[in-house]
Amino acid sequence: MSDLIRMSAEQMRRKGMLNAEQRRKREQEYNMKVEQMSKHNVGGLYDIRAIKKSKQFEQQKNHYNIEQARSELEDLLQANRLYKFSFETEEFIKRISGREADSYTIRETGKFISDLINEIKVKYEVKE
């Protein structure tokens, strides 16, 4: 009779060990699945969620922001005491490009104006 009890206890122990091993395997598979889902593996394509969280995306978003480009142009013009020249600059951009000003054209025009101002200062030896 004690043989039957021991076998039963041994069988229960084996069954418990098997269940524990299966549970560990399921947890490991679940963790791998969660890790895979968090990486958003989409077949070698870009992970949009990771891109949106990145610092570079924020910098690009700021770079393409028209209001920020206008603000930078106004700061440049104010630093050189050309307070009312912002409107004329945007009108010039519209006339030359034939469309509304975007961040690229505003920044490029700002670079041109800055270079022009610096050249004039150098030529006429203007001190700040």
The whole domain housing 108 covers 65-123
pLDDT attached to residue 26: 92
**73 with 23, same domain?**
no
Where are the extended beta strands (E) located within the chain?
none
Count CB neighbours of 76 within 10 A.
Answer: 19
Number of folded domains that form the chain:
2
Asked if the structure places residue 86 within a domain, the reply is yes
5 pLDDT higher than 70:
no
Give the model confidence (pLDDT) of 39-79 as tens digits: 655 555 666 666 667 777 777 777 788 998 999 999 999 99
* Dihedral (CA of 104, 108, 114, 117) sign: negative
Euclidean distance between the first and the last CA atom of the chain, given in angstroms as a whole number: 106
